[in-house]
Amino acid sequence: MRDRDVPQPSARRQFKYIRRQLRIFRRHHVSTLQQGLILIAACTIVLYSVFFTNVLAIHDFFHELRHALGIIPCH
């Protein structure tokens, strides 16, 4: 099945979903310190995935980048 054959939710429905998620997020009163910690944790997970993970799909996708940077030998 091609991508354009998959029915996509309308923009209005997507914005409605995003607004609902933001409302739920705001209700939790996350402090600036907590926001910073969440951001650092998210960045750490992404960087670990890009540079150190052995999950084959992720490793292979970023293989050229690892070698181009020359700081992380993988073999």
Q: Which residues bind Zn ion (CB under 5 A)?
A: 74-75
Which CB atom, from 7 or from 73, has the smaller least distance to Zn ion? 73
Which CB atom, from 30 or from 72, has the smaller least distance to Zn ion? 72
Q: Provide DSSP, 14-72.
A: HHHHHHHHHHHHHHT---HHHHHHHHHHHHHHHHHHHHT---HHHHHHTHHHHHHHTS-
Residue 45 in tokens: 């997970």
CB of 53 to Zn ion, least distance (A): 13
**Which single residue brings its beta carbon nearest to Zn ion?**
74
Which CB atom, from 29 or from 75, has the smaller least distance to Zn ion? 75
